[in-house]
């Protein structure tokens, strides 16, 4: 009997497998779509930097852009991997349910196959034509119709479940292959990210330990500072008329980030090479990923990667007063955005930094750097 059941089941499953078709996995997750959009933007930013930037600090800026891109790509493939695992689990659950459903039908299928095997296909006809004293012709007809309908319903249910079973098995195979492919993609993305981090660390080591490289980087930093001055002059050429004059709040402005000031306004002496570098702002040792905020109401006049400063936001507070926030890990505002006092502009990072994550903060009044400590509230 077991052999007969296996033969019948195999025949029905072959028919179901022929109709099996794949169902695409939806990837409309808002986080995934946002990441994919961000990746396109980061690729464009990287390509622009590759064609524009030169020198040691340019190399650093390009490496930072590559790191941001690879991090986003790794996060994106990680989300797709998670979606694939969820889909795979769903197919496994459906497959188990259909298999259980088929197992419940096995006794009926086995019994009917055995009856048909023993009695042949003319069994119902013999009942219909039996003598009247055994069963009336009308009763025989009704019984035959009942048996036919019952068998049709059961066979149709078996065939439909077999078809769904074949579909789910095929989908399971596809999703397993897709999962393996995504796991390989995660590995390659992680390796690329590690390689970019290693290249950045090697570049920083050369700048820190080699006098010639340090001097070259220093010359580039001085050039970058002049370039920042030109940008600020351009932004401040048409002073806005602020609702509130920021100068009235001199000494009362909120700090842009938490953390100690490790380098103040004025000249800075390099501890190893004893070179003197102008330092027209504050270095605030905020932890990596910490929020930094606008010190006053204003409009974002600049939000992009800047040679020597990494990801930088410049806020125009009106009347020729601007604040500068540099070395961000991520910017959460765009040029033209209106911001209010205390609004988060981004997260602290080490883009363009020669010494790790921190926030570089400047205040400029009439295009000239001023000591921010005199404008910020006393801690």
Q: In the chain, how many H helices and how many E strands?
A: 6, 12
DSSP string, 175-229: HHHHHHHHHHHHHHHHHHHHHHHHHHHHHHHHHHH-HHHHHHHHHHHHHHHHHHH
Does 339 have pLDDT greater than 70? yes
Instruction: Spell 274-290 as b/e; 16+ CB within 10 A means b.
Output: eeeeebbbbbbbbeeeb
CA distance 144 to 153: 14
The per-residue pLDDT for range 107-141, each reduced to its tens digit, is 776 676 676 666 655 554 455 445 544 445 555 55
More confident site: 326 or 104: 326
Residue 331 pairs in a beta bridge with 346
CA distance 308 to 288: 19
More confident site: 153 or 13: 153
pLDDT of 138 reads 55
Query: What average pLDDT score do residues 85-93 get?
Result: 79
Does 373 have pLDDT greater than 80? yes
Provide the whole-model pTM.
0.60
pLDDT of 298 reads 92
Band (pLDDT 50/70/90 cuts) for residue 341 is very high
Query: What average pLDDT score do residues 309-315 get?
Result: 93
Query: Rounded to whole angstroms, what are the CA distances from 52 to 49, 233, 313?
Result: 5, 22, 20
Does 8 have pLDDT greater than 50? no
The per-residue pLDDT for range 288-301, each reduced to its tens digit, is 999 999 999 999 99
Question: How does the average pLDDT of the chain come out, rounded?
Answer: 76
The per-residue pLDDT for range 183-230, each reduced to its tens digit, is 777 778 778 778 877 877 777 777 666 666 666 666 667 777 777 877
Backbone angles phi, psi at 134, to 5 degrees: -80, -45
Torsion 237-242-248-250 (CA) sign: negative
Residue 276 pairs in a beta bridge with 269
pLDDT of 359 reads 96
The per-residue pLDDT for range 254-268, each reduced to its tens digit, is 999 999 999 999 877
CA distance 207 to 202: 9
Which contiguous run of DSSP H or E holds residue 359? strand 359-365
The per-residue pLDDT for range 62-79, each reduced to its tens digit, is 788 888 888 888 888 888
With beta carbons less than 8 A apart as the criterion, state whether 218 and 275 touch. yes
Percent of the chain with pLDDT over 90: 24
């Amino acid at each position: 009997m077991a052999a007969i059941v296996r033969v019948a089941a195999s025949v029905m499953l072959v028919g179901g497998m022929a109709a099996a078709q794949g169902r695409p996995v939806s990837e409309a997750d808002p986080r995934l779509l946002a990441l994919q959009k961000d990746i396109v933007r980061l690729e464009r930013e990287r390509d622009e930097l590759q064609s524009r930037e030169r020198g040691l600090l340019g190399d650093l800026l390009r490496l930072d852009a590559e790191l941001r891109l690879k991090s986003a790509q790794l996060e994106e493939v990680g989300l797709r991997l998670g979606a694939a695992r969820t889909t795979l689990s769903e197919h496994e659950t459906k497959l188990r349910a259909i298999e259980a459903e088929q197992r419940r039908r096995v006794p009926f299928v086995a019994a009917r196959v055995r009856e048909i095997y023993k009695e042949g296909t003319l069994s119902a006809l013999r009942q219909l034509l039996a003598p009247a004293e055994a069963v009336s012709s009308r009763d025989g007809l009704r019984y035959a119709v009942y048996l036919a309908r019952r068998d049709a319903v059961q066979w149709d249910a078996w065939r439909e479940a077999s078809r769904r079973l074949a579909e789910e098995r095929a989908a399971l195979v596809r999703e397993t292959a897709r999962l393996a492919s995504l796991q390989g993609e995660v590995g390659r993305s992680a390796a690329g990210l590690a390689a970019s981090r290693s290249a950045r660390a090697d570049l920083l080591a050369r700048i820190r330990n080699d006098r010639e490289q340090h001097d070259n980087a220093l010359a580039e930093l001085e050039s970058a500072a002049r370039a920042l001055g030109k940008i600020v002059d351009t932004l401040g050429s048409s002073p806005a008329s602020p609702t509130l004059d920021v100068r009235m709040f001199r000494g009362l402005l909120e700090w842009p980030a938490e953390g100690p000031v490790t380098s103040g306004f004025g000249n800075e002496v390099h501890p190893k090479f004893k070179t003197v570098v102008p330092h027209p702002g504050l270095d605030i040792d905020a932890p990596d990923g910490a929020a930094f905020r606008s010190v006053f109401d204003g409009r974002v006049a600049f939000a992009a990667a800047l040679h020597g400063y990494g990801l930088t936001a410049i806020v125009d507070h009106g009347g020729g007063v601007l604040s500068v926030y540099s070395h961000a890990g991520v910017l959460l505002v765009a040029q033209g955005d209106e911001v209010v006092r205390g609004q988060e502009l981004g997260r602290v990072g080490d883009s363009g930094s020669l010494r790790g994550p921190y926030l570089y903060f400047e205040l400029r009044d009439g295009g000239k750097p001023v000591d921010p400590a005199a404008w910020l509230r006393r801690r």
